[in-house]
Amino acid sequence: MTIDDQLLANAPNFRDLGGRATSDGARVRRGMVYRSDSLAWLDESDLATLERIGLRQVMDLRADVERAKHADRLPDGVEYTTLDVNPKPAGGTRGTGEGADRHFAGDLASVLAEPELAREVLSDGGGERFMHNVNRVLVTSDAARAGYAELLTRVATGPTAAVFHCSAGKDRTGWAAALILSLLGVPWATIVSDYLVSNLRMDNIQRWIYAKSDENGIDRTLVDPILGVRRRYLQTAFAEVERVHGTVEEYVRDGLKLDPEIIDALRARLLEWP
């Protein structure tokens, strides 16, 4: 079994964060932390797989509306925590520029449900702007900082095996995975490679977005930039870290307000040496 083998039939982006080598010769332990897309569609075989790998903790990064529509299916006894990293916009959500950018990943369904709004948000390169803004907001918004701080704490000190996930498992989940791997000392090229694997696991979300687009008369080319991940989207997130805080370590200390002991515990738990 390779690092990126598909483990769950109905959550194609569920995969082990372990197996990656670090710059100083260690390796991220396998079977400890997983990343995923929605766990709402799991069948009995998928649930049996989660029991087999010893899943004990789930961290759900989705917004309230996503969870209400599609609740996770989990084995009995799994500790379940909601960590809504979606920003809470002040005022309305309509409009151009920053107003349109308030539509975050979890609110995409409401954008696609209104053809006029979708064209306003996504036309003229708006899809790429949307995704770049998503990645900046994941670094800077109060909700995201609180959610990712708790996620790192839970990964470092909570029960394992653990999984964190959103709906597609690519943006909110992608930033969490990239952050953890960066803190563990995994090289940039490997972090990007892990991030881009999501593009091979987007069949479910692609069908859903295209169906919504067709239903509402929205040109599919407008939504293509939000269907997957691109290296430059992740670069935007790390550039925002550098702009606001300087380094990832300073972002964790000053932005997420985490004690160094948490990161020490994260590294002690997840790294193994040959």
Answer yes or no: is 218 within a domain: yes
Which of 137, 71, 60, 81 is CA-nearest to residue 104?
Answer: 137
Answer yes or no: is 82 within a domain: yes
The fraction of the chain above a pLDDT of 70, given in percent, is 90
> What pLDDT does 41 receive?
94
Answer yes or no: is 29 within a domain: yes
> What pLDDT does 227 receive?
86
Answer yes or no: is 8 within a domain: no
How many independent structural domains does the chain possess? 1
Extract the runs of DSSP E, i.e. beta strands, from the chain: 15-16, 27-28, 33-36, 57-60, 79-82, 162-165, 271-272
Please state which of the ranges 29-33, 99-103, 107-111, 253-257 shows the lowest mean pLDDT. 99-103
Please give the Cα distance from 183 to 267 (Å, whole number): 8
Interval 191-220 mean pLDDT = 88
Interval 143-158 mean pLDDT = 97
Answer yes or no: is 237 within a domain: yes
What's the one-letter identity of residue 38?
S
**Predicted structure pTM score:** 0.90
Query: Any idea what the CATH number is for the domain that residue 125 is in?
Result: 3.90.190.10
Answer yes or no: is 195 within a domain: yes
Residue 106 has pLDDT above 70, yes or no: no
Which of 2, 5, 11, 1 is CA-nearest to residue 202?
Answer: 11
Domain extent, residue 65, equals 15-258
Residue 234 has pLDDT above 50, yes or no: yes
Answer yes or no: is 6 within a domain: no
C-alpha angle with apex 25: 23 to 27, nearest 5 degrees?
95
Interval 198-221 mean pLDDT = 86
> What is the phi-psi region of residue 90: left when phi exceeds 0, alpha when psi lies from -120 to 50, beta otherwise?
beta
> What pLDDT does 88 receive?
67
Q: Which residues of 250-274 are buried (b: 16+ CB within 10 A; e: fewer)?
A: ebbeebbebeeebbebbbebbbeee
Extract the runs of DSSP E, i.e. beta strands, from 51-156: 57-60, 79-82
Answer yes or no: is 5 within a domain: no
**pLDDT tens digits, one per residue of 47-82:** 999 999 999 999 999 988 889 989 999 999 999 999
